[in-house]
Amino acid sequence: MNEKRFSKVALLLALQFIIMIILSVIITMTISKTTRRNSIEHMETIADERAHIILNYVENAENTLTYYSKAQQVLDLLNDPTDPEAIKKAQAFTEDYSASIDNVEGLWIGEWNTHCIAHTNPGTVGITTRKDPDKLKELQDAMLAAGDKVYNTGMILSPATGKQIVSMYKAVYDENGQPIGFVGLGIFTDKLINSLNSLSIKGLDDVSYSMVNVNDGKYVFNDDPDLVYTVADNGDISKICSDLKGTSAEKSGSFEYKSGNKKYISIYTYIPEYGWILMLDDTKSEIYSLTNVMRVYMVIFGIAILALLAIFSFINKKQQKTNQKLASTIVKNNKTKESLYTAMFKDVLTDVNNRVAFSMNLEEFKASREAPFYFAMFNISDFSEINTKYGNDTGDWVLVKTVDIISQIFKNSKIYRTGSDEFIVAIQADNSSVSADVVLSNVNDAYRKLSAQQNTPMGKISFSYKASVVKKSSDINTSVITVLKDMMNKDPEAVNGHITYTDMDQM
């Protein structure tokens, strides 16, 4: 018996452990998936933000060049490139204007054939930058195609300084809309790259930036300077460049790759205005660090659950004997309670409720005008003489038989033995289906059967009964018993079809 109980407990504990492990795995997978998605979305947001920083940096430089191109000193010089006064004013304005530009590599004015006539660095004045006719025409066509906008060549290595710059040109037109020259600007990218690197990302210390031109697949900038202006050899980058080349819609995404012994995740965002892809790269372990922490916590949680289940199993074994003793005691107590209840509220001989139970059940008699209660009392006449004449066994038989006959007539009503020789039936009626006439008819039927000759252990004998009925619609109490007795005492000669009846609501 003990082994079977232990097996059931052990099985229950094992089942609980399995359920907890399954739930832990599901929770871990769900949290890990959500955390990974949130980490990627967070990185994509950061990539978009950094892309806008680059875009604003370049657009500010273009706006700076546009404002410069509209200056009167620039127009005067390009209308008459040989005017000494115009040359002097334009050179002074160029030097003064460039002093207000952060990180400037060079600001200059050139004739349409790229002959420099004013420059941030005066030593550069007089140089022609495009001596090759094809290169010159390519530049001129690009500026004309840009119209009144800036022609941005992108990020290049400056021929003058050997450093990376954002190089841009803007054509200047005369009153007839004919190009008379252009202005040019070079902005070092060092400040931009340093600004990006200085922007920390909480929880991500190993982030690096790189940018690729989708038109040629070459790095615009990279943490490894040797890779700048070389074609990216990563297959994912090549495919992204191929897909985005020539498109004008912004796009973000991610891909994974392996370098050395480490796995990386690259988050990219496309800057269609210049055909650049900005990428943020970080180790997979750092981006998913929160996921890894969650997994550790869930493992610890699982171990804790296993330990608790083991402790519970140990305690359960120790308490099994105690529980068996307690169970035995409880069973005995319950039987004792049942015996006490029977002794207090039940008539042991007839197995119906006694007078104490009637008093206790008064609150259950929820009577109303629509559903009143009828109480019928049956009293065995001269019961003491029956015991004297026929013996107590016959008297007990009469009591049991009385209950049996009453129960047959009033199947759904409660019967109470309120005295040694009297019984009360509590009948709740519904005026729509049960009336006083119906109740009295049933009482008469019971009275007739009770008064008929009975086959007792002492032979066929007839017994006399008295009966009375009252109706009550509210405030039911033990006075019902008193009224019923008084009615029988006033009319002791009750006969079949003439049972005393009183409506207590009219009293």
More confidently predicted of 213 and 436: 213
User: What is the model's pLDDT at position 179?
Assistant: 95
For position 170, what pLDDT does the model report? 96
In whole angstroms, what is the distance from residue 299 CA to residue 295 CA? 6
Which pLDDT does position 192 carry in this prediction? 78
Which has the closest alpha carbon to 68: 38, 96, 43? 96
71 or 262: whose pLDDT is higher?
A: 71
- Identify the residue with better confidence: 83 or 205: 83
For the chain, which residues make up each domain, given as ranges? 70-191, 353-506
Band of pLDDT at residue 506, cut at 50, 70 and 90: confident
Task: Note whether 78 and 109 are within 8 A (CB).
Answer: yes
Determine the pLDDT at residue 431: 60
So what's the pLDDT on residue 45? 83
Q: How confident is the model at residue 1 (pLDDT cuts 50, 70, 90)?
A: very low
Separation of alpha carbons 84 and 447, rounded Å: 145
Please tell me which residue, 113 or 304, carries the higher pLDDT value: 113
* pLDDT computed for residue 49 by the predictor: 85
Does residue 380 have a pLDDT over 50? yes
E strands, 5-158, where? 104-111, 116-119, 151-157
pLDDT (tens digit per residue) in 139-151: 999 999 999 999 9
In the block, tokens 């390009």 appear at 78
Q: Quick one: average pLDDT of 44-52?
A: 84
- Reported as a single tens digit per residue, the pLDDT across 402-440 is 999 999 999 888 999 998 899 999 998 876 566 788 888
* Mean pLDDT, residues 320-346: 70
Mean pLDDT of 327-335: 69
Structure tokens at 64: 């700076």
Q: Please, what is the average pLDDT of the chain?
A: 84
Burial of 31 (0-12, 13-18, 19+ CB in 10 A): middle
pTM: 0.51
> In this predicted structure, which of 74-88, 122-136, 420-434, 489-503 has the lowest mean pLDDT?
489-503
Strands (E), 284-385: 353-354, 373-380
- pLDDT tens track for 352-369: 999 888 888 888 888 888
pLDDT tens digits, one per residue of 216-260: 998 888 878 788 888 998 899 999 999 998 898 888 888 888 888
Q: Average pLDDT in the 483-500 region? A: 74
pLDDT at 336: 59
- CB of 418 within 8 A of CB of 376? no
Per-residue model confidence (pLDDT) at position 92: 95
Cβ atoms within 10 Å, residue 156: 14
* Model confidence at 340: pLDDT above 70: no
Q: Is the pLDDT of residue 327 over 70?
A: no
Q: Given a cut of 60, is residue 495 above it in pLDDT? A: no
Q: What angle do CA 489, 494, 496 make, to 5 degrees?
A: 160
Query: Given a cut of 70, is residue 2 above it in pLDDT?
Result: no
- pLDDT range class, residue 493, cuts 50, 70, 90: low
CATH number of 70-191: 3.30.450.20
When pLDDT is averaged across residues 7-28 and rounded to a whole number, the result is 72
Beta-carbon count within 10 A of 408 CB: 11
Q: Look at residue 6 and tell me whether its pLDDT is greater than 70.
A: no
CATH architecture classification, 353-506? 2-Layer Sandwich (3.30)
